[in-house]
Amino acid sequence: MLVNRAFVPPELVDGREGGGWPWTVPCVKELVGEGIAFDAPVTFLVGENGSGKSTVVEAIAEAYGLDGRGGRAGRKYGNDRPPSVLGGAVRLDLTSAGTRMMTGPRTRKKGYFLRAETAFGLMETVWGLPGYWEENTSEMSHGEGFLTVFEAMFKQPGLYVMDEPEAALSFASCLRLVALMHRLGRSGAQVICATHSPVLASTPGARILEVGEHGITPVEWSELLLVDHWRRYLSEPEAYLRHLIPRDERD
């Protein structure tokens, strides 16, 4: 592992904690002070849209020096985009391995930030360049492109941050990513992932943090609200559909 904790020193908030976004988001408030502790090589942040999980993982990526739009460590992608408000305030408590990686030459820093909403444009820009993949991902399906990135870039011990990678993946491809994340965790790498996928969150040995109005709470996979809803829906879709689509409008 590389990161033990992500936090925001209270003095950096400068009285803004109760003022405006992002300091009003419950999970962001929990970053101020003690912050989030990481005690497993693979960590998932799970929560509804708007819960703030993507904001948090982006800030952690930026604190590590990854480009907020996505991409590999040690490289900015031709833009002068400053860190987000939260990314500029987050600090990381590093393990000894993380300290060596962060304080060494830029080329020593390993990691990747895959952000689903910007991944496709980045993939089209960098394929074929030294240090990336040779395949033209623009000629692939989105899911095949994502898997190409995972297989090419998620190899060495480093920090791998992902924001909803399941967006382009089939069920079978999600299972391939589960296996990859598990291997990364055992190799000395660290994975921090925001997801809506109960499949990804089932990665063996992973730490799961449920994000919501309550802030951030560690939970077991079987206790996730997300898992409960999927189980109920797959068991009896009508229990949900009757509240959404009148029976006389169904063909």
Ranges of each domain in the chain: 3-219, 222-251
Helix axes 171-187, 142-153, angle to 10 degrees: 10
CB atoms within 10 A of CB 17: 15
Give, for all 251 residues of the chain, the pLDDT tens digit: 999 999 999 988 865 544 688 999 999 999 999 999 999 999 999 999 999 999 999 999 999 989 888 888 876 544 556 778 899 999 999 999 999 988 877 778 899 999 988 888 888 888 888 888 889 988 898 899 999 999 999 988 999 999 999 999 999 999 999 999 999 999 999 999 999 999 999 999 999 999 999 999 999 999 999 999 999 999 999 999 989 998 888 77
CA angle 181, 185, 40 (to 5 degrees): 110
Q: List, in order, residues 6 or more apart from 78 with CB less than 8 Å away.
A: none
The CB-side HSE value for 45 (13 A sphere, CA atoms) comes to: 29
Q: Cis omega (within 30 of 0) on the bond before 22? A: yes
Q: List, in order, residues 6 or more apart from 128 with CB less than 8 Å away.
A: 134, 136
Alpha-carbon radius of gyration of the chain:
19
CATH 1.10.8 fits 3-219, yes or no: no
Distance in angstroms (rounded) separating the CA atoms of residues 109 and 189: 12
Whole-prediction pTM value? 0.92
